């Protein structure tokens, strides 16, 4: 996956959801690249394009973690897996490469950090 890049197929406004993906949580950091740190206790490996977003110190994406859960509606249980929501950190034009900062920190409430091994 070294040479893959992800480009936007449409324009996004700052704060708009670009991708929301299921994620698998771990209490110990897996020995691999692109492991997302959730809260200094849990680590996540997401599905979707998140595994191949490239690093940029001027990234145009950030992310939020959403806990999984379940709800009862009309007699049926709906289960929601844990997920990462990738948001446009700034306005993104169609055709622009989508990137994330793999060296950021817990500087924004509600947003985690990313660990690149």
Domains and CATH numbers, the chain: 17-115 (2.170.270.10)
**pLDDT value of residue 20:** 92
Which of 7-11, 31-35, 46-50, 80-84 shows the lowest mean pLDDT across its residues? 31-35
**pLDDT value of residue 19:** 93
Residue with token string 């700052």: 14
Of the candidates 39, 52, 41, 57, which has an alpha carbon nearest to the alpha carbon of residue 86?
A: 52
Top pLDDT among 72 and 50 is at 72
* Cβ within 8 Å of residue 12, ≥6 positions away: 18, 88, 91, 92
* pLDDT tens by residue, 63-106: 888 888 888 888 888 888 888 899 999 999 999 999 988 765 44
**Predicted confidence band at 109 (pLDDT cuts at 50, 70, 90)?**
very low
**pLDDT value of residue 81:** 86
- 24 HSE (CA, 13 A, CB side): 9
């Amino acid at each position: 996956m070294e040479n893959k890049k992800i480009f936007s197929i449409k324009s996004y406004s700052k704060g708009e959801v670009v991708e929301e993906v299921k994620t698998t949580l771990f209490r110990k950091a897996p020995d691999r690249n692109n492991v997302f740190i959730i809260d200094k206790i849990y680590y996540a490996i997401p599905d979707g394009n998140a595994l191949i977003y490239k690093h940029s110190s001027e990234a145009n994406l950030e992310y939020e973690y959403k806990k999984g859960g379940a709800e009862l509606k009309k007699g049926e249980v709906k289960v929601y897996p844990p997920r990462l929501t990738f948001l446009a950190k700034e306005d993104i034009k169609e055709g622009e490469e989508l990137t994330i900062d793999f060296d950021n920190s817990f500087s924004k409430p509600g947003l985690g950090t990313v660990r690149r091994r």
